[in-house]
């Protein structure tokens, strides 16, 4: 909608930024930490760009005070970070590692010292390797109890200081890339297993949300979902239906469960017909329906466009553009449902991700109208080849990207969407899971490349100072 006058951003709007433990901390085996699946997966040749890994990452574990001081200098109101499960419980359960708890105590206290609201993510893809070895990780219902016990330990330790929590980060990504596309651990291509893993993860998410509401009475918790809104390529009803199929299968299938505890009927029928439906045991649906998130977390990077795809049409591609060479992505689709096609109205990044701020506006409208929940944008950002020139990084392209997306949030607020905050991805440069250190997202340049033997010097980019002004003016100056 177009409005004559903008509504102001809420006074307590959480202008923030985000990260994940494996991508920034390093110290992969320090102070009693156990290995996660990612610590082992990256050692398999060919799994990551040029063999990069997070053993050292950007050394946040040892430099967190320096990083938090930079956050304070930027004026951040919030910082979203994840806790490494195997840093707290080295084998995923059993005896707690006090040194791990103390690290996050220190990080939280450092943030609060500068009046930065800590937003804690319980799970950002790094399940302890010990649980994978013992019972297959997310493939076993045993993980529900272990994940809940781990989460409860965090709620009890930090709940008095941390009011905003994310349960699972991008469940749709870690189950599909791990169990369907074999791009993440455990490197499996088995859709039947993927949907079973996904159902178990849904149960774990519900269990944790219920536990949270029992323990942290004045806090808020919700999942973080990677939403890619689909458009039909044109007004041909077959293509409109293809876009509906894509929305149902890729988005409603997760968010409907989070909000209501039900699977979309059309998707469930598709799963049953193709022998992909997970096993649902007595009590499962009751548990899913009982868990009520306080907000919907949204990770938004791009939109997608769909067209009709017959039963003998294009199948799924398991190849991503991880090189940054534009135009190297492969055609992909699901026969009988939809296929992805190019959108001539939007530009793309070097990694073939569409740049579509209007898509964020559309995403916010769709989520708000369908689920009637407040929305916290938990990730949004631009990965690019940043260049350090004479000690500076002039990333006007990132400013353009972020400015247009903040403008989309403004448009959504004008439309009545209840927005809690905006966390960019990311504050510092960090390890991209499959793209190494070449694909940079941060406001702060970190002087490292493939080699861990690097200075790791922190250098604020032009976008750092732009965001500082946005925060100071509460979104009035973009």
**Whether 297 contacts 374, CB under 8 Å:** no
- Where is average pLDDT lowest: 199-208, 275-284, 319-328? 319-328
| Catalytically active residues, by annotation | 379
pLDDT tens digit string along 50-90? 888 999 999 999 999 999 999 999 999 999 999 999 999 99
pLDDT tens digit string along 143-185? 999 999 999 999 999 999 999 999 999 999 999 999 999 999 9
Residue 61: how many other CB atoms lie within 10 Å: 21
Nearest-10 crossing angle of helices 60-74, 98-113? 20
Mean pLDDT over the full length of the chain: 96
pLDDT of residue 217: 94
pLDDT of residue 35: 98
Binned at pLDDT 50, 70 and 90, residue 449 comes out as confident
DSSP string, 22-59: HHH---TTGGGPPPBHHHHHTTSTTSSGGG--SSSTT-
pLDDT of residue 319: 74
pLDDT tens digit string along 386-407? 999 999 999 999 999 999 999 9
- Torsion of Cα atoms, 246 then 436 then 45 then 147, to 10°: -60
Q: Judge if the upstream peptide bond of residue 59 is cis by omega within 30 degrees of 0.
A: no
Strand 333-334 to 338-341 pairing: antiparallel
Q: What is the CA radius of gyration of the chain?
A: 21
Binned at pLDDT 50, 70 and 90, residue 322 comes out as confident
Strand 14-18 to 117-123 pairing: unpaired
- How far, in Å, are 119, 170, 195, 263 from residue 202 at the CA level? 21, 12, 10, 11
* Domains present along the chain, CATH in parentheses: 14-472 (3.20.20.80)
pLDDT of residue 325: 81
pLDDT of residue 351: 87
Q: What is the mean pLDDT of residues 24-33?
A: 97
Looking at per-residue pLDDT, the higher value among 321 and 82 belongs to 82
What 3-state DSSP class applies to 354?
A: strand
How many H-runs (helices) and E-runs (strands) does the chain carry?
Answer: 16, 16
Binned at pLDDT 50, 70 and 90, residue 290 comes out as very high
Binned at pLDDT 50, 70 and 90, residue 49 comes out as confident
Q: Please, what's the b/e burial string for 353-382 (b: 16 or more CB within 10 A of its CB; e: otherwise)? A: bbbbbbbbbbbbbbbbeebebbbbbbbbbb
Gap between the Cα atoms of 166 and 19, Å rounded: 12
Residue 164 φ then ψ, to 5°? -120, 130
Question: Could you tell me the sign of the dihedral formed by the alpha carbons of 33, 440, 168, 78, in that order?
Answer: positive
Q: Percent of the chain at pLDDT above 70?
A: 100
* Statement: residue 234 has pLDDT above 80: yes
* Strand blocks (E) in 248-356: 296-299, 304-307, 333-334, 338-341, 347-348, 354-355
Binned at pLDDT 50, 70 and 90, residue 436 comes out as confident
- Where is average pLDDT lowest: 34-43, 251-260, 431-440? 431-440
* Statement: residue 320 has pLDDT above 80: no
Q: Percent of the chain at pLDDT above 90?
A: 90
Binned at pLDDT 50, 70 and 90, residue 433 comes out as confident
pLDDT of residue 451: 82
What's the length of the chain? Answer: 478
pLDDT tens digit string along 90-107? 999 999 999 999 999 999
DSSP string, 155-218: HHHHTTT--EEEEEE-HHHHHHHHHTS-SSTT----HHHHHHHHHHHHHHHHHHHHHHHHH-TT
**Whether 443 contacts 427, CB under 8 Å:** yes
pLDDT of residue 48: 85
* Statement: residue 318 has pLDDT above 90: no
* Statement: residue 230 has pLDDT above 90: yes
């Amino acid at each position: 909608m177009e409005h004559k006058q903008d509504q102001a951003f809420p006074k307590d709007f959480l202008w923030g930024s985000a990260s994940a433990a494996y991508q920034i901390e390093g110290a992969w085996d320090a102070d009693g930490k156990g290995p996660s699946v990612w610590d082992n997966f990256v050692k398999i040749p060919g799994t990551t760009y040029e063999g990069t890994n997070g053993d050292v990452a950007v050394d946040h574990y040892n430099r967190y005070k320096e990083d938090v001081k930079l956050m304070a200098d930027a004026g951040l109101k919030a910082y979203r970070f994840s806790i490494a499960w195997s840093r707290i419980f080295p084998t995923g359960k059993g005896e707690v590692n006090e040194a791990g708890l103390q690290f996050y105590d220190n990080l939280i206290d450092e943030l609060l010292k500068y009046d930065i609201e800590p937003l804690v993510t319980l799970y950002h893809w790094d399940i302890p390797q010990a649980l994978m070895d013992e019972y297959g990780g997310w493939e076993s219902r045993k993980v529900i109890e272990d994940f809940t016990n781990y989460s409860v330990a965090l709620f009890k330790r930090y709940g008095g200081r941390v009011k905003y929590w994310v349960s699972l980060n991008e469940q749709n990504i870690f189950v599909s890339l791990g169990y369907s596309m074999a791009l993440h651990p455990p490197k499996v291509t088995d859709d039947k297993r993927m949907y079973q893993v996904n159902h178990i993860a849904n149960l774990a998410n519900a269990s944790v949300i219920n536990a949270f509401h029992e323990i942290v009475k004045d806090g808020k918790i919700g999942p973080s979902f990677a939403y890619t809104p689909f458009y039909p390529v044109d007004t041909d009803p077959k293509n409109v239906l293809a876009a509906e199929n894509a929305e149902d299968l890729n988005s409603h299938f997760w968010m409907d469960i989070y909000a209501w505890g039900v699977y979309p009927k059309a998707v469930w029928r598709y799963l049953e017909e193709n022998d992909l439906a997970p096993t649902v045991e007595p009590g499962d649906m009751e548990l899913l329906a009982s868990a009520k998130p306080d907000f919907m977390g949204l990770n938004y990077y791009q939109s997608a466009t769909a067209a009709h795809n017959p039963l003998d049409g294009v199948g799924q591609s398991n190849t991503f553009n991880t090189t940054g060479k534009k135009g190297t992505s492969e055609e992909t689709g699901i026969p009988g449902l939809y296929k992805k096609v190019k959108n001539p109205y939007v530009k793309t990044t070097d990694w073939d991700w569409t740049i579509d701020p209007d898509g964020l506006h559309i995403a916010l409208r769709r989520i708000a109208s369908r689920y009637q929940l407040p929305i916290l944008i938990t990730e949004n950002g631009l990965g690019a080849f940043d260049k350090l020139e004479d000690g500076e990084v002039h990333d006007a392209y990132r400013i353009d990207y972020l400015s247009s997306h903040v403008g989309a949030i403004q448009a959504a607020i004008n439309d009545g969407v209840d927005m809690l905050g905006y966390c960019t991805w990311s504050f510092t440069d960090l390890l991209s899971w499959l793209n190494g250190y070449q694909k940079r997202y941060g406001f702060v340049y970190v002087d490292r490349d493939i080699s861990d033997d690097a200075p790791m010097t922190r250098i604020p980019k032009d976008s750092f100072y732009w965001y500082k002004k946005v925060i100071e003016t509460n979104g009035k100056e973009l």
